[in-house]
Amino acid sequence: MEDIVLENVSKDFGVFTAVDGVSLTIHSGELFSFLGPSGCGKTTLLRMIAGFETPSGGTIRLGNQDITDLPPYKREVNTIFQNYSLFPHMTLFDNVAFGLRIKKTPKAEIKDRVREMLNLVKMEDQANKYPDQISGGQKQRIAIARALINKPRVLLLDEPLAALDLKLRQHMLIELMNIHDAVGITFIYVTHDQGEAMGISDRLAVMNQGKIVQEGPPDDIYERPLSIFSAYFIGETNFITGQVKALYDDYLELVCDDGGGKSFELDCSFQHAPAVGSRVTFSLRPEKIAISRNKPRAQDDINMLKGQIEDILYLGSHTQYIVRVGKLKIRVFSQHKRVYFDDKALDWEEKVWLFWHDTDTWMIENDALEQLTEAQLSESGQLSRALKRRGS
């Protein structure tokens, strides 16, 4: 059953377009995330669903009801604010009871329901404290209790974990999932943290420059990014360009230029077939690549490349190798599972083989560079180099 339906929703602030024609359906009971960099329009979208902003165009429906122009206090939607926005002059009990008091709920019922809610968020023994006497994580819980007590159809969460430190963030994420399971209503979650979005969501939408770039389950978006932006923004990846040499049912053969006068051939997976002879970009996640000083046994569905180690970064849980193939630089993550690793550790300047399953080479369909800002481009120098070569 659909719960929130956005139809061609836009929002302009003067000359700046924050949200640009977004259409989307969020199902009842789903935990749906908007993921994107700051300024991508995700918070504006959330604020339009909550009613704090009026869309410049389009409609927003909650179930069968058009709520586009409804003031916030008439919507069955509640929000968890980034800074929690607890009322500083009220006790935690009064904060949680706020919504019920507005509805003139009988005193005894308020008491019971607030207790119940405080139990849900494990804050039952702190009811008489004031917001400035509790920690960030506890404020978070009270904010959740204060919203959920109104029995909203949809709970909106605007970067709810941004103000917490790392350990607490991981802990609260699991707690949020548990609360979602317990109350069973739709959660809409806004974040710029890909880890949070991937971990918590049933489905997510990647947003950039006011538009939805890709939507789907987290694994789908990670494994099969359809655009430069979603591949870049979620996880880390290598971008390589090549020319389509031959096209088969479920894979294609590419010829890639290594920039040093040599070329190599790779097999690549795709969603929609490109024309033979066209130039395409593909994404290859660093952790999918195996690295070894010994040449692996040749197999049909394995891509192989020979290169030389340029840099080794020991990162604790894994090691990052930068491997030079001609003038290309390919990043490889290798976990420290020593049972099937080379006896001797790899060294700088060592000649190595890179190999991976050919379904892990995934063709990007929408490779418009404009999707990335200057800062993002310079951050991934390799990407811009790869794409510049494609243009030339």
Partner 1 sequence: MKAKSRPSALEKRKNLSSWLLSLPALLWLLCFFLIPYLIVIIYSFLTPDIYDVKFEFSLAAYRQVFSGGYLRPFFLSFKLAIYTTLCCLLLGFPVAYYIARAREKLKNTLLIFIIIPFWTNLIIRIFSWRIFLSYSGVLNGILMNMGVISQPLEILRTDLAVILVMVYVYLPYMILPLYSVLEKLDFTLLNAAMDLGANEVKAFFSITLPLAVEGIFAGTLLVFIPALGAYLIPQLVGNQRSLYVGQVITYKIKNIPRNWPMASALSLTLLLLVALMLLIMYGLYRRHLARRQTQ
Partner 2 sequence: MRVFSRKWYKGLNLTAFSLVMAFLYIPILILIIFSFNNSRIIAGWQGFTFKYYVLLFQNTAIKEAFRNTMLIALLSTLISTTLGILTALALENKHFSGRKGLLALIYTPLVIPDILMGVSLALLFNFTRVNTGMITVLIAHVTFCISYTVIVVQSRLEGFDYSLVEAAQDLGARPSYIFWKIKFPLMMPGIIAAALLAFTLSIDDFIITFFTSGRGFDTLPIYVEGTIRRGTVTTINSLSTLMIAFTLFLVVITKRIRKILVSAL
296 binds, among partner 1, partner 2, none (CB under 5 to 8 A by kind): none
Nearer to partner 2, 4 or 268 (CB): 4
Under the binding rule (CB under 8 A), the answer on residue 74 touching partner 1 is: no
- Which residue number, 7 or 12, has a Cβ lying nearer to partner 1? 12
Give the whole-angstrom CA distance, residue 185 versus residue 31: 9
Q: How many residues of this chain bind partner 1 (CB under 8 A)?
A: 3
Return the one option of partner 1, partner 2, none that residue 150 interacts with (CB less than 5 to 8 A, by type).
partner 2
DSSP letter at 274 equals P
| Nearest to partner 1 of 17, 91 (CB atom) | 17
What does the per-residue mask of binding to partner 2 show for 42-81, with x meaning CB under 8 A?
--------xxx------------------xxxx--xxx-x
12 scored as a contact of partner 1 (CB under 8 A): yes
Binding part of the chain for partner 1, among 11-19, 27-35, 101-109, 369-377 by CB under 8 A, reads 11-19
25, β-bridge pairs: 5
If one asks whether residue 87 binds partner 2 (CB under 8 A), the answer comes out as: yes
Q: Which residues contact 124 (CB under 8 A, 6 or more apart)?
A: 115, 118
Structure-block tokens of residue 174: 């699991």
Roughly what angle, to the nearest 10 degrees, separates helices 136-148 and 92-102? 20
Closest approach of partner 2 to the CB of residue 320, in Å: 38
Query: Which of partner 2, partner 1, none does residue 12 bind (CB under 5 to 8 Å by kind)?
Result: partner 1
Candidate list 1, 15, 275, 315; residue touching partner 1; CB under 8 A = 15
Residue written as tokens 């409804």? 70
Min CB(27)–partner 2 separation in Å: 23
Q: 385, exposed or middle or buried, with CB in 10 Å at 0-12, 13-18, 19+?
A: middle
Residue 15 partner contact from partner 1, partner 2, none using kind-dependent CB cut-offs of 5 to 8 Å: partner 1
Task: For residue 63, give the H/E element and its range.
Answer: none
Exactly one of 1, 14, 15, 103 binds partner 2 (CB under 8 A); which one? 103
Say how far apart CA 97 and CA 289 lie, in whole Å. Answer: 54
- Where are the alpha helices (H) located in 103-254, listed in sequence order? 107-120, 136-148, 166-183, 194-200, 218-223, 228-233
Task: Determine the size of the site formed for partner 2 (CB under 8 A).
Answer: 27
The dihedral of CA 189, 194, 197, 202: what is its sign?
A: positive
Q: How many Cα atoms within 13 Å fall on the side-chain side of residue 349?
A: 0
364's enclosing H/E stretch is strand 362-364
- Exactly one of 1, 14, 339, 391 binds partner 1 (CB under 8 A); that residue is 14
Count how many residues are written for the chain. Answer: 392
The smaller minimum CB distance to partner 1, of residues 14 and 88, is found at 14
| 136 belongs to the binding site for partner 2 (CB under 8 A) | no
Q: Per CB under 8 A, does 130 bind partner 2? A: yes
CA–CA distance, 62 with 154 (Å, rounded to integer): 9
Tally of CB atoms within 10 A around 289: 22
Binding region for partner 1 (CB under 8 A) out of 8-16, 95-103, 105-113, 290-298: 8-16
For partner 1, the binding residues (CB under 8 A) are: 12, 14-15
